[in-house]
Amino acid sequence: MIESFRVVLELDVTDDDRALAEEILATAVTFHRDASGCAPYIPFTSVDDRPGAWDIRTAEGVSNVGVCRYIDNPYAPETPNLDGSRLLNSDEGVTLVAAIAEAPEGVSGNPEECAAG
């Protein structure tokens, strides 16, 4: 849960642009989930906190899949770390779920070994 945060924005504007810049800044909002369903902070920070495994082959009626990318910033761990997201609609979401369901089962479940080989 986000309790507080700080946004630092530096703009070089002329007097003519100041009103427009203030109008743009006034539209800034805090979000808990973006349009893809991703939170501004990674939902878990350790391997032990990951959600439990479930059989994706049992998923029915999938129409959308949110894909979230987070960065690890050890210098600013309290800052939002959502780097990007994408919402896969209809065919893309169904295709992704089918591809994952058809992929060979992992060996250990250890993320450090996923990229090996």
| pLDDT beyond 80 at 6 | no
Task: Note the pLDDT tens digit of each residue in 42-100.
Answer: 887 777 777 777 888 888 888 899 999 988 877 777 788 899 999 999 889 889 988 88
Question: According to the model, what pLDDT value does residue 38 have?
Answer: 92
pLDDT computed for residue 5 by the predictor: 57
For the entire predicted model, the pTM comes to 0.60
Q: What is the pLDDT of residue 53?
A: 77
Q: How far apart are CA 100 and CA 10, in angstroms?
A: 43
Taking the domains of the chain in order of start, what are their residue ranges? 15-107
The answer, yes or no, to whether residue 2 has pLDDT greater than 50, is: no
- Contact in structure between 65 and 93 (CB atoms under 8 Å): yes
